Structure 1
Amino acid sequence: MVGESMNQLYTVWGEDLKQDHVLQEYPRPQMKRDSYLNLNGYWDYAISESEVVDSYDGEILVPFSPESVLSGVQRVVTPNDYLFYYKEVVLPNDFMKDHILLHFGAVDQICELWINDQYVGKHIGGFTPFHFDITDYVIGSQFAVKLRVKDVTDTSYHQTGKQRIDRGGIWYTPQSGIWQTVWIESVPSNYIQALKLTSLFDEKKVKIELQKAGTGLVKAEVYFGNELEGTTESEGDEIIISVQHLYPWTPETPNLYQIKLIYHEDIIESYIGMRHIERKKDEHGIFRFYLNHQPYFQSGVLDQGYYPDGLLTPPSDEAMIYDIEKMKEMGFNMLRKHIKIEPLRWYYHCDRLGMLVWQDMINGSERKDIIFHGLLANLGVHLKDHRYKLFGRKNETGRNQFLTELEEMLVHLQSVTSIVTWVPFNEAWGQFDAVKVEKMVRNFDHTRLIDHASGWSDQYVGDYYSRHTYFTKLRFRRKHGGKRISALTEFGGYSLPIKGHRFHDESIFGYKKYDTEMKLEEAYTDLYQQQVVPQIKNGLSVLIYTQLSDVEDEMNGLLTYDRKINKMSTEKVKEINELLYSTFHKQF
């Protein structure tokens, strides 16, 4: 992937990477067992146009994709290729219980699994997790794992996110194969297969919904710190526990309750934050976002979650923590996770550190020329999205696959405390039937809000009047706030290239370009003070600035792509955010 004018940047975590200790943390914090075998590390790999290989090309460092420098490969998997993985696994002594479950955090895009040369199964979708019960394929304590992966990137209807074979501008280097943690757990015959946690804030209760193998009592205990807040036992699939004391979760007070579940020999550790989310009119008749029954202003940034050395894969747990903590230091209280599903540990850190999350669904589209939707949106024209050809969604199989993966994402992230808004579609990229999709999401989860079609192609449903504004002056009218929450869900995007921290020496993408840090800071300050602040009295309640960090050609981050330089003073950005919050609170 490295051309003559492209520079290989490294984060400090990539520079210090220990190949024998890659992303070893437990990958599923809300459903943690003591049975855990991490399979990250070196695997054999091959890239071939043949469906079968007899030998391998070398070693790849999992879970980094072959296109990334940290994988040790740096080769592109084309739509004509198959990507193969092979690893021999030895189980520790006393590891085996009754079942062995093999988990994949994410494999892009189509993955088939063999254990000891026996075909196990297939998964389609490059961003959602999956697992297989491989018990019947394992004899003894040693076995071989083989994967065959096909990735057509953006040549078909599959969900691709910001990846493009022809990268550039707002589109990034494609990546393939395993890109999140691979791991094994062993469980007894009676075990908890899945759980959903819901905060019943007003009732001071926690609802736990279970899927179980077998029957019998489940004992549930809820703690805050070392204090037992509530306990109960049930044979049913739904458990409701009252807590003695209500410690609300907010970005300012990210209180978390610890949960322990005991089901026969299966013991699970989990957690939840108690919070309540709603769209409600204030005393002036304007819809606002309410957190725990209080109007709450969201000031956030667009977060792509890309790294120069790991691409979609964070090089370490600390890399994820750094981005969240740095944005909190700057005074932001929300991140919009843009067209990406992160490893679960990223959401865990948002939960424990206190950061609201807007979660985008991954886009897919059969056409590239959708910019006219944006032009029309700026003119106030929003086409109906049942016109599938205009939105790049002619293929019915592709539409159904999107819905399948959307449901997988909702199930996967349903218990995350910090997620407050779902974003099914962004800027008409593969959008279709958004009214029906919004209803589907609402029926699945009525506890969060929905930005049904962020920025463009509004179908006039959902909780937000959502606009992306880069080239025109900001203008929100009170009448919009009388119907939905007024939200500026993308804006800014001011660029400043920093020498020595640029991915590309020639291509610089940004909506306005500056050549010094002082000029950038002055323009950023002017944008907020002169344009944003006056809109708050008209109902503006949500801001999402573009963006957290540079990504490849995009030089419009608050941080450089390698996360080594802040382009503006942390104190100055925090000061502006505090001005926003104080202006908002003066409305009440």
Structure 2
Amino acid sequence: MTHDPAPLPEYPRPQLVRDSYLNLNGRWRYAVNDGTRPGSYDGDIVVPYSPEAPLSGVGRQLRPGETLWYRRSFEPPAGPAGGRVILHFGAVDQTCRVWVNDVEVGGHTGGYLPFSFDVTDALREGGNTLDVAVRDDSDTGWHARGKQRLRRGGIWYTAQSGIWQTVWAERVPETYVERLTLTPVLAEECVEVTVHAPAGEAAIEILAAGEVVARATAPAGSPVRVPLPGARPWSPEDPFLYDVTVTLGADHVRGYFGMRSFSVGPDGDGVPRLLLNGRPYFHAGILDQGYWPDGLYTPPSDEAMVDDIVMMKQLGFTMLRKHIKIEPLRWYHHCDRLGMLVWQDLVNGGETYRPLVITTPAILPLRLDDRRHHRFGRADADGRAAFESELRETVEHLRNVVGLAVWVPFNEGWGQFDAARVAGELARLDPTRTIDHASGWHDQGAGDLLSLHVYFRRFRPPRPDGRVLVLSEYGGYSLPVEGHTWGEKEFGYRRYRTAAELGEAFVRLHEEQIVPAIGKGLSASVYTQLSDVEDELNGLLTYDRAELKLPADLIRSVTRRLTFHDHP
């Protein structure tokens, strides 16, 4: 089998970069069966696109109970003789087992987080074979699944499966840097660096605009604070990044960080606000689902991710709420370097929930106690434990992301449980960020934010409760654009037939409801949404990203007023 140029060839881990890199994206063989090792294959699949995605070349839905098999050949990555070879998977939905040369090297469960195996002892000189077997219960089990559903429609989207982020390998020395923790301490003008490795002493260099500004040494596993006098703060308006290089024996890695702080505190009038670098900063956000018509969860290119971020920044948004999905690390890297704040949702799971429990608060002011797990589809203790395990893994995975300002563990009661306790655990794991413990309806009075979703009715700021007030979803106005819709159906919270009507409604919504609320405590807003997704036609962009539905100047005339310096 010949291999075409790999899609998504860019280095997938921008904050821990090595020169040794073998991209394994491209054409693999695939088969779908009952779980037995296949004797023959059904055809080719383009990795890292799920078989349900058009870009995979397959066009087949993996069903619960079926096994999706992958196979390809490869030669180990180039590099000095000796050392170890690590095989990496960015994400595989949902459960997989992996073999190299018919030697099982490991397995993984969880469709949104990366994993890796040391495959050195299974390799041989010259060609090697790599086999992966995947099973996906989708929404029939309690595993994290986001907005995937086998019976898609409305706010639920095409279920996908299998490998959906980059597969790659690297050669490392016997003792190597496993990960870095880079924690800016802006108030003390220093960065805390932890080099995670089994042994050794690391040499650290910090660079600003290519010039070395600080050096330090640190024993493996021990944090060291590196002074940066006169540190330049990171912000959306000035997304300045420092580079860092680390040498541990024969291992050399490169990364970056930004000097910034996230917190909550009173403004000059005593109103609780979100703070960036110690000062009130309004988060003018937009909901970002991260779906693509040809790749589903997987973007068609690195440039496509950049284009989304750049467009929203040009329209005046300063924050993206990444909605119940974990993106490839390169997406976060682009947010960091371009200057975009991120609110990161955890990925929901749980058994099938009761619609009345989930939807009633959209109309009535009902707040149920989420310690009654069965109400929220969380009666299964294993499912709750898996969510909390993935929460901890997600925090470590994204800990170094510069622009990540807010953690969102639960959205609208979808698989919600013990949200107050979970928020406390999140705060312990990561005290450097703020927490929206229950975005939308079933508020438990915890976290840093009083977080509201308002559709179908007028937004009226509630009575303050000591937390920061945020409108974490609103709008959702839909407009179909001829020639740029995904199907025949239309879902939106208010429907418009012309761009002029949509534009008038968009401006009126903000002038009458959102901007006046800023002076009454509103500190962040999240408009629904960045782009159309399948039946949902309520994006500012069409699903194919070909058309912006409103004039850019009109949108900017609204977003420039979403600030603490320009409200009545």
TM exceeding 0.5 = yes
Other-structure match for 2:256: 271
State yes or no: 1:340 paired with 2:353: no
**SS at 1:476 equivalent:** coil
- 1:502-517 equivalence runs, <5 A: 502-505=485-488, 507-517=489-499
Helix, strand or coil at the partner of 1:321: helix
> What is the aligned counterpart of 2:109 among 124, 127, 130?
124
In structure 2, the residue matched to 1:15 is none
SS of aligned partner of 1:490 = strand
Offset at residue 96 of structure 1 (A):
4.9
Distance 2:125 2:512 in 1: 69
> Hey, what's the Cα distance between the residues in 1 that align with 2:361 and 2:549?
33
Do 1:229 and 1:244's aligned partners in 2 also have CA atoms closer than 8 Å?
no
Distance 1:559 1:97, change over 3 A: farther
Inter-partner Cα distance in structure 1 for 2:284 and 2:536: 21
Match of 2:524 in 1: 542
Alignment partner of 2:47 out of 58, 62, 70: 62
How big is each residue's C-alpha offset from its partner over 1:88-124, in whole Å with a ceiling of 9 and x where there is no partner? 1113554654101000000000011111111121100
- Which of 203, 207, 210 is the matching residue for 1:219? 203
Matches within 5 A, 1:245-394: 245-376=230-361, 378-394=363-379
Q: Distance in 2 between matches of 1:196 and 1:378?
A: 44
Alpha-carbon distance between aligned partners in 1 of 2:300 and 2:237, rounded to the nearest angstrom = 28
1:572 maps to 2:554: yes
RMSD: 1.4
Provide the C-alpha distance between the structure 1 equivalents of 2:393 and 2:192, rounded to a whole number of angstroms: 21
| Residue 211 of structure 2 corresponds to residue 231 of structure 1 | no
Does the 8 Å CA contact 1:496/1:513 hold for their aligned counterparts?
yes
1:331–1:574 CA contact under 8 A, matched in 2: yes
SS of equivalent to 1:585: coil
Inter-CA distance 92–192: structure 2 relative to 1 (3 Å threshold): closer
Shift of 1:209: 1.5
What is the CA-CA distance between 1:139 and the residue it aligns to?
A: 2.3
What SS does the aligned partner of 1:575 have? helix
8 Å Cα contact 2:478-2:496 kept in structure 1: yes
- Aligned partner letter, 1:504: G
Q: Does 1:159 align with 2:144?
A: yes
Residues 186-223 of structure 1: per-residue CA shift (max 9 Å, x gap)? 1001111111110110111111122203x222000001
How much has 1:368 moved relative to structure 2?
A: 3.9
Deviation of residue 145 (structure 1)?
A: 0.8
- Whether contact under 8 Å (2:214, 2:228) holds in the other structure is yes
Structure 2 counterpart of 1:71, one-letter code: S
Query: 3-state DSSP class of the match of 2:387?
Result: helix
Which structure's relative contact order is higher, taking Cα pairs within 8 Å and 6+ residues apart?
Answer: 1
> In 2, distance between residues paired with 1:201 and 1:278?
12
Unaligned regions of 5+ residues in structure 2, if any?
none
Mapped to 1, the partners of 2:357 and 2:371 lie a distance apart of 17
Distance of aligned partners of 1:92 and 1:184 in 2 relative to their CA distance in 1, 3 Å threshold: closer
Mapped contact 2:541–2:549 kept (Cα < 8 A): yes
Structure 2 residue aligned with 1:171: 156
Q: Which residue of 1 aligns with 2:71?
A: 86
Q: Conserved in 2, the CA contact under 8 Å of 1:114 and 1:147?
A: yes
Amino acid in the other structure paired with 1:347: Y
Q: 2:516·2:567 contact (CA, 8 Å) conserved in 1?
A: no
Distance in 1 of aligned mates of 2:300 and 2:105: 30
CA gap of 1:342–1:95, structure 2 versus 1, over 3 A, is farther
Once the two structures are TM-superposed, the CA of residue 375 in structure 1 deviates from its matched residue by: 1.9
Deviation of 1:135 (Å)? 1.0
1:391-433 deviation line (CA, Å, top 9, x unaligned): 0011111111111111111110000001000000000000011
The amino acid across from 2:189 in the alignment is K
Shift of 1:586: 5.0
Distance 1:141 1:422 in 2: 45
Measure, in 2, the Cα distance between the counterparts of 1:574 and 1:268.
40
Aligned to 1:500, which of 483, 488, 500? 483
Instruction: Describe how 1:10-159 pairs up with structure 2 within 5 A.
Output: 20-94=5-79, 96-159=81-144
Alpha-carbon distance between aligned partners in 2 of 1:523 and 1:295, rounded to the nearest angstrom: 29
1:137 Cα deviation from its structure 2 partner: 1.0
Paired residue secondary structure (1:154): helix
Alignment of 1:488 with 2:471, yes or no, is: yes
Q: Which residue of 2 aligns with 1:12?
A: none
| Contact 1:370-1:428 within 8 A present in 2 as well | no
Whichever residue aligns with residue 269 of structure 1, its letter is R
Query: Is 1:403 matched up with 2:383?
Result: no
Q: Determine the structure 1 residue equivalent to 2:515.
A: 533
Which residue identity is paired with 1:540? L
Q: Secondary structure at the match of 2:104?
A: strand
How many Å separate the matches in 2 of 1:294 and 1:313? 36
| More deviation, 399-408/307-316 | 399-408
State whether residues 468 and 490 of structure 1, in contact with CA within 8 Å, keep that contact through their aligned partners in structure 2.
yes
Deviation at 1:245, TM superposition (A): 2.9
Query: Which residue number corresponds to residue 13 of structure 1?
Result: none
User: Could you state the TM-score of these two structures normalised by the residue count of structure 2?
Assistant: 0.97
Do the aligned partners of 1:302 and 1:337 also contact (CA within 8 Å) in 2?
yes
